[in-house]
Chain A
């Protein structure tokens, strides 16, 4: 399992101090990302998918705090690195693309300054070489007349172009891992296709591994290899995308799939998940999905199920699948 995995997160726990007590946004998350694969982290707002990514990057800010777990990246635990070591790693080995390029690009500087900054800081190139590299990067991202564009400011670009620039900066130092947090949520579908194509292409040409954070199961289906579904701070199911969407096992995954209106099939009814997500300051004692689960039993309410590992690397956190579990004892419960 560890062989070939670029990143291995185990038992990660991230809390936010609130006046009502600790809000555990990420609670015992374990996942592994293999080299060259795209792993989708799926879930609805507040499920902890973005906080998981920020924790991996060690970018959680106060009042947030990582309180337990390991983040193994190429044999090193990132949670034990110094601040300085993390700074060197960020942008050079692990890079991130955020949802809103307008708030992540600095409005006061030209694209040239912002792209060459990461090249300079990580000592990849400087001066004229940095400029040439920047032009090459913009061209590779499909930006027309890149050398003129270098002198533009972010507001002069369209949303799709800005996201291309963000990706250019992210891949400028040839990272091994790219974390893309809802990279196309702010974009229209015709632009979304362009950006997702670009991500797929740079993954192929640059041998990147990608963690793709999204709420859109359609994107998961089209652009990733495996997926982990998060609910209320926990990963409830992990499987290959075809298995996950073709035969969802966890009732929450099943519920999510059932919520999505099928294009051109108004005859296929949508079945909403009743209720709302639990309060993460005082989460339910048992399974976190039990209050909304149509198949919950007394046991589900009373105690939380562990992770059950099923055939072909599938992990489900639900008592319904206890019998088909490979190992009799659940592992990695955090």
Chain B
């Protein structure tokens, strides 16, 4: 399971939050690795914990339990000074390009700030690098003097990507980077992501609720349900032939464009349970459509390799 090339290792990480008297198990025991040069897609529905997991991976939050190792270093257990030196190596792209850019700063200032802080670069160096970065994401460097409100949503998302790339990070975590964009603009951003993968063999975690988008940019895909990874494997294998009943339902529910390829839609009943009251045994058993065995209610299934490199957490699958 341990891969020497792994840039990021998440070991049995959990993140709990207190909400009044109840406790939210946002991330509930996740183990996975992100290998250098790959894009790992993280897909799941709202409230499944994918954003929290993304924040754990970027060391923006410390896990309540377990460890997150970035290049072998446990960021939660190093002094702040060292952590700060680690920061430029992991960068995040956020969903809302309106909220994540400072409205008082020009684009050049926004994109240049990480360079000034982290690399103590000279003005000239910053200027040159900013121009380079803007060009890389398909913006005209002359637009650097403008403010975020003068840009459309898609352009703002490009600015967010340029800022994340400023310090040449080893890892990019993109949390729903295209969720707020129209399809024609979404396609432009996805194109940029693929271009960056090709040019810099970027290592990335791509978080989205949209299975088609994830399948388009990722080499491996992890499916999350109620705080846990229920399936993990090569994108083609997970999307084309999912093993876990939840992934099967999720993927079958995506409306297809070509009705000739129409898969049999698996209809799940009811809503996902609340992360404050995770069902015992398999957390999916309350909505599962398979013929269940007593194990399903009694014991939580672990991720196990069913096909080569393709894991699922289900007692029955395979």
Chain A residues in contact with chain B, CB under 8 A? 44-45, 158-161, 188-194, 197, 215-219, 221-223, 242, 245, 255-266, 270-274, 276
Contact = CB atoms under 8 A, between A and B. Distances in A.
A260 B256 CA distance: 10
B82 interface: no
Given A44-B183, A259-B186, A272-B191, A190 B256 contact: no
A256 B265 contact: no
Nearest to A144: B270
Given A221-B259, A262-B257, A263-B239, A44 B215 contact: no
Contacts of B249: 190
B255 interface: yes
B150 interface: no
Interface stretch (B101-109, B205-213, B305-313): B205-213
Contact of A188 (B182, B209, B240): B209
B254 A191 contact: no
A215 B179 CA distance: 13
Interface string B218-257: 0000000000000000011001100000000111011111
Given A260-B212, A266-B235, A272 B184 contact: yes
B3 interface: no
A217 B257 CA distance: 7
B183 A218 contact: no
Contacts of A221: 255-259
B255 A216 contact: yes
B292 interface: no
Majority secondary structure of chain A interface residues (helix, strand, loop or mixed): helix
Interface residues of B, number: 40
What 5 A-B pairs have minimum CB-CB distances, sorted nearest first? A218-B255, A261-B216, A272-B187, A259-B187, A188-B45
A274 B46 CA distance: 31
Interface string B186-214: 11101100000000000000000101110
Given A45-B182, A276-B155, 12 more contacts: A44-B182, A193-B267, A221-B255, A245-B257, A260-B183, A261-B212, A270-B190, A270-B191, A270-B216, A273-B184, A273-B187, A276-B185
A261 B250 contact: no
A191 B187 CA distance: 25
Interface in B38-61: 45-46
B152 A276 contact: yes
Contacts of B268: 190, 194
A211 to B, nearest CB: 18
Contacts of B154: 276
Contacts of A259: 183-184, 186-187
A221 B249 CA distance: 19
Q: Which of B213, B217, B254, B265 has the most CB of A within 10 A?
A: B254
B251 A197 contact: no
Contact of B46 (A188, A197, A273, A276): A188
B184 A263 contact: no
B216 A266 contact: yes
B271 interface: yes
6 contacts: A188-B209, A218-B255, A223-B255, A263-B211, A266-B235, A266-B236
Among B183, B211, B253, the most chain A Cβ lie within 10 Å of the Cβ of B183
Contacts of A190: 45, 249-250, 253, 268
B128 to A, nearest CB: 27
A193 B265 contact: yes
B254 A189 contact: yes
Contacts of B255: 189, 192, 216, 218-219, 221-223
A281 B236 CA distance: 46
Contacts of B257: 217-218, 221, 245, 257, 260, 262
Contacts of A260: 183, 187, 212, 257
A120 B251 CA distance: 43
Nearest to B44: A188
A274 B189 CA distance: 11
